[in-house]
Structure 1
Amino acid sequence: MRQTARLGRLAGIPIGVHWSVLVIMLLLVQGLASVILPGGARGYPAAVYWGVAVIVAVLFLAALLAHELAHALVARHYGVRVRAITLWLLGGVSELDGEAPHARADLLIALAGPVVSLVGAGVFAAAAAGASASGAGPLAVTGLGWLAVVNAILGVFNLLPGAPLDGGRVLAAVLWWVRGDRAGARRAAGRAGTVLGGLLIAAGLVEVLLAANFGGLWLVVLGWFLALSAHAETTHVMLRKALAGVRVGDVMTTPAVCGYTSQSIADFVATVARRHPHRVFPVLDLDGRLVGLVSINRLAKVPRTDRERVRLGEVSAPVDRAHVLDPAAPLIDTAPALLAGGHRLAPVVTDGRLTGIMTSGDVARATELAELGITPDRGGGAATTSGSHAPADPAR
């Protein structure tokens, strides 16, 4: 997940937040200041409730960060590199670069976060009890008690057995330990996560429709997110197994469909864009070097009367904005992004020259062939399919 703002580093790990954290912060502060704190501690001015609510919300985000940091530190202990930790609307994400070396490590990495959340719940509960015993006032007791309850819920909820929750990773680690099949264990956790997401959606809809409680919409949103994430994880596991050892050059479409900087928009649309299914096309200079990309949407913004005059080189996006691939790169590192993009296209380049193009269709075909036990091999342009076309003539 892309960070909107970088907060710094903890234990050498980059820490950041996604813009959606602002949404959850506003909702938390509003709920605490308007409902939770006044309900547990009456008689304070509104400004006091709002001030304490901000402090409690910040402590809650700190608890989320501690949860993710626990995952990250245990992962690093077992040799797994941690790229970053990002806090967002529905919690936090520890971006791990690599796999746990064995099932025991996978289990401990997964358990670390919920354990820290449950320990945090105990610490906040003890602090609330201490505040009450010392006469610190009902406002402090209410805030600390809320933090204890929320951390307990966070720890228990994350232990539910379905990916992408920590409990799903615990389930996958246990199944891997028992069966010795990492990929199969992760597929099972992904299926469990899909079922769990569906149950949460159903529970939310029941709450909305039968109890007329629109708070159930949060369950619907959460269930929808879990189901989508579980499906994505299952797909990634299947891709990694099916595409192991396959390179971008084995799968790319070649020769590539492309345009040229000197070609008019009208000619390019008539001879290339209208005949091929892509929405984005590479643009080459007259020496055959990749200089940019052009989309149909971008071409459509040029007035019809100017399309004979305007050249592709004038409207193409610079190549430094493109996701350029190396034919020797492992396909599994590229496949998820292309599949998620639907009609995404990425140029494949060697020494600045266009070697081919990669689309989600190329990835899907390679996956289907791999499932048949066939290794795709279209590197070097020796073979083509009905989706491969020769470059446009630059003289046109």
Structure 2
Amino acid sequence: MSNSIKIGRVKGIDIELNYNWIVIFLLITYMFANYYFPTYFKDWPQWVYWAEGAFIGIMLFVSVLLHELSHSLVSKHFGIAVNKISLFIFGGMAYIEKDADTPGKEFLIAIAGPLMSLFLSILFTVTSNVLALSGASEMISAPLAYIGQMNIVLAVFNLFPAMPLDGGRILTAAIWKIKKDRVYAAKIASASGTFFSYALMMLGVLNILSGNVLNGVWLIMIGVFIGQSSQASYQNSVFEKLFAGVLVRDIMTSPVITVDINTPASKLLKDFFFHYKHPFFPVQSGNEIVGIIMLKSLKAVREEDMDRITAAQLFQPLDGSFIITPDETAEDALRRLASNQLGRFLVMDEHGIAGILSKTDLIKYISIYNELHN
């Protein structure tokens, strides 16, 4: 079951909302309705506090979405595909298919988000001031002022020179430009991200010790997220270098063991799953691959039916997400594997099945590469 819901599509980019975003929305609504607005605006009705708190939560969502959409549109301008934008408890992320191929493009993609946040900050702050000077109610001008402040905080925080923040990508672009080595630049930016994550976690511990438990826990959670993401960003850069020029056909496993569509469940279990210990097998009808059969499909078969039920009744029809071609790059395959439930691809060409590509194949290639280059 997916932990996100698709809420829209902009310029061919899917927008997804992770269910955990509800936590931050409710928290922001509660904090503003019970603390911030009642402290500074004591004469507002209670329902207004809650309405304004919810408005702030929604506008945080809109601000983060526009921030990530800016990265995405600049990426697409440079011909780099963007699979989706996901909004979650720690903010948002644009799933950009690959890194930029020049420092200049890397910089422009990275700076687009903070520039959008800065623009939104100026827009909401100026609008709030104009409304206040024209005599509009504070119920209208005050929330807009806070949204302006919220966006400047978003811009400044993201400019910290630490991966995976935008500032980390800007740092990567700068070092890449000077050293002419993207992997080295990513390594430095990742180290900066790790240091920044430790600093946030230490600050979180200090907050907890001083009695500010909520802020402390939040800082520790953000620190852990940044630390993990900074390492992942560096690994992606390394993988891009490792798999440069490598095609799926170069590292796939071939030939492939298939099962006939009329194979009984008992034979599937004994002669295939127990014998080869693979998590699934392609199902063949004549000369055509019609689907796959997984071990979990046999769980529903009663013991007395094992000789009667065949693969024809158990297989899962082919799904495009499970298929890759021999001429696709290993780098693209690695990215697609991250969202592949099987952890493997059927490698298909015009003649049928050409091989299987799994995470194990990629790991073996990396091991051989390291052995040769170290």
The TM-score with structure 2 as length reference comes to 0.87
SS in 1 for 2:149: helix
Per the TM alignment, residue 163 of structure 1 is displaced from its structure 2 partner at its CA by 1.5
Task: Classify 1:79/1:283 alpha carbon distance in 2 versus 1 (closer, same or farther; 3 Å).
Answer: closer
Bigger RCO (CA 8 Å, 6+ sep): 1
Task: Classify 1:284/1:79 alpha carbon distance in 2 versus 1 (closer, same or farther; 3 Å).
Answer: closer
Q: Which residue of 2 aligns with 1:319?
A: 318
Q: Which residue of 2 aligns with 1:389?
A: none
Q: Which residue of 1 aligns with 2:174?
A: 174
Matches within 5 A, 1:251-262: 251-262=251-262
CA contact (8 A) 1:290 1:352 kept: no
Per the TM alignment, residue 48 of structure 1 is displaced from its structure 2 partner at its CA by 1.9
Task: Classify 1:222/1:273 alpha carbon distance in 2 versus 1 (closer, same or farther; 3 Å).
Answer: same
For the residues of structure 2 that align with 1:263 and 1:304, how far apart are their CA atoms? 16
CA contact (8 A) 1:78 1:101 kept: no
Per the TM alignment, residue 107 of structure 1 is displaced from its structure 2 partner at its CA by 1.6
- Identify the range of structure 1 (256-265 vs 356-365) with the bigger mean alpha-carbon deviation: 256-265
CA contact (8 A) 1:6 1:17 kept: yes
- Identify the range of structure 1 (241-250 vs 84-93) with the bigger mean alpha-carbon deviation: 84-93
SS in 1 for 2:15: strand
Task: Classify 1:304/1:253 alpha carbon distance in 2 versus 1 (closer, same or farther; 3 Å).
Answer: same
Matches within 5 A, 1:374-393: none
Task: Classify 1:84/1:275 alpha carbon distance in 2 versus 1 (closer, same or farther; 3 Å).
Answer: closer
For the residues of structure 2 that align with 1:15 and 1:310, how far apart are their CA atoms? 40
CA contact (8 A) 1:40 1:139 kept: no
Amino acid at match of 2:143: G
Percent of residue pairs identical: 26
Q: Which residue of 2 aligns with 1:344?
A: 343
Q: Which residue of 2 aligns with 1:384?
A: none
Q: Which residue of 2 aligns with 1:5?
A: 6
For the residues of structure 2 that align with 1:252 and 1:101, how far apart are their CA atoms? 26
Per the TM alignment, residue 135 of structure 1 is displaced from its structure 2 partner at its CA by 4.0
For the residues of structure 1 that align with 2:140 and 2:170, how far apart are their CA atoms? 35
For the residues of structure 2 that align with 1:98 and 1:117, how far apart are their CA atoms? 24
CA contact (8 A) 2:164 2:229 kept: yes
Task: Classify 1:209/1:119 alpha carbon distance in 2 versus 1 (closer, same or farther; 3 Å).
Answer: same
The reply on whether 1:51 has 2:54 as its aligned counterpart is no
Q: CA RMSD in A?
A: 2.9
Task: Classify 1:69/1:320 alpha carbon distance in 2 versus 1 (closer, same or farther; 3 Å).
Answer: closer
Query: What runs of 5+ residues in structure 1 fail to find an aligned partner?
Result: 375-396
The number of residues matched between the two structures is 371
Task: Classify 1:78/1:370 alpha carbon distance in 2 versus 1 (closer, same or farther; 3 Å).
Answer: same
For the residues of structure 1 that align with 2:203 and 2:297, how far apart are their CA atoms? 44
Q: Which residue of 2 aligns with 1:300?
A: 299
Per the TM alignment, residue 210 of structure 1 is displaced from its structure 2 partner at its CA by 5.3
Per the TM alignment, residue 282 of structure 1 is displaced from its structure 2 partner at its CA by 1.9
Amino acid at match of 2:293: V
Query: What runs of 5+ residues in structure 2 fail to find an aligned partner?
Result: none
For the residues of structure 2 that align with 1:304 and 1:118, how far apart are their CA atoms? 65
Per the TM alignment, residue 82 of structure 1 is displaced from its structure 2 partner at its CA by 5.2
CA contact (8 A) 2:172 2:182 kept: yes
- Identify the range of structure 1 (217-226 vs 265-274) with the bigger mean alpha-carbon deviation: 217-226
Amino acid at match of 1:7: G
- Identify the range of structure 1 (67-76 vs 182-191) with the bigger mean alpha-carbon deviation: 67-76
CA contact (8 A) 2:347 2:357 kept: yes
Matches within 5 A, 1:54-203: 54-76=54-76, 78=78, 80=80, 85-97=85-97, 99-100=99-100, 102-203=102-203
